[in-house]
Amino acid sequence: MKASQKAPVTVMAHLVAGYPTDALAFAAARGLAEGGVSFFEVQLPFSDPSADGKSIQTACASVLSRGYRVDDGFAFVSRLRREFPEIPVFVMTYGNLAFRRGIENFAGRAAAAGAAGLIVPDLPFDADEGLDAACRARGLVSVPVAAPSMTDSRVAALGALGRPYVYAALRAGITGASTAIDGATLAFIERISAGTARMDGNLPRTRVLGGFGIRTGEQSKALKDAVYAVVAGSAFVDAIGESAPRGEGAVHSAVLAKARELTGII
């Protein structure tokens, strides 16, 4: 893909830092970049995830078995920023890792690594342990997660915060299984979009990131006009895991093919 080309579908691609090795993880990152993804979402491996399905849980366990640490994850983010400066990186983690280091310290470390923002799904927007304030102080964005179970009043409360991004989890449960993009899914996205729209003309509309179970090009195309970016994770993690025994070239090729499918690049 040429630098001047824009992918038909804006995709945020989820990577588990260091999975299954640093070399193979960067082979995957190259495939994602060449496949036209617009954002990286880098997960810091954690032993007790609350939202991840089997694929990502297995990937995290594999990386942690090597003695991988939070600092290694931030080093991974720093290298991504050096090698792919045109692709913003959002760090995804769980509250335990951020709280253990101190929320402000964690946000500072993310900023120093070059991250654009933090996604912490188990810290709700109205009880985030100071995450948003720590991010704002360091030039980061904190991305809250909205689920289909959210009441209209909570959606309105979220919208009143005026966050630049909100992650819409397209169904309840854990990641991995395929999600049907149907009328109910699109209605949920519209509810989040309408509820978080900024009314001040000097500020941009909140950008909705939509994910959970996005595995095919058909799904991403069905979502592209409803969300700012389509988020895909397990599809890439599976491609990495299946091709890893054949080396860096195989990982690159497998991830590149999946990225092109999801971004709509021929």
Q: In sequence order, what are the residues at sequence separation of 6 or more whose Cβ sits closer than 8 angstroms to the Cβ of residue 238?
A: 55
Mean confidence (pLDDT) of the chain:
90
**What's the confidence (pLDDT) of residue 14?**
96
Catalytic residues: 41, 52
Strands (E), the chain: 11-16, 39-43, 89-92, 117-119, 141-143, 145-146, 165-169, 207-211, 229-232
Judged on CB neighbours under 10 Å (0-12, 13-18, 19+), 159 is buried
> Per residue in 107-131, pLDDT tens?
999 999 999 999 999 999 999 999 9
Q: What is the per-residue pLDDT across 128-137, written as a single tens digit (0 to 9) for each? A: 999 999 999 9
Task: Tell me the mean pLDDT in the region 216-245.
Answer: 95
Q: Rounded to 5 degrees, what are φ and ψ at 134?
A: -65, -40
φ and ψ at residue 172, rounded to 5 degrees:
-75, 165
Domains of the chain: 11-144+214-263 (3.20.20.70)
pLDDT 10s digits, 203-212: 456 899 999 8
pLDDT tens per residue, range 21-56: 999 999 999 999 999 999 999 999 988 766 566 889
Pick the range with the lowest mean pLDDT from 13-27, 108-122, 191-205, 208-222: 191-205
- On whether the CB atoms of residues 39 and 87 are closer than 8 A, the answer is yes
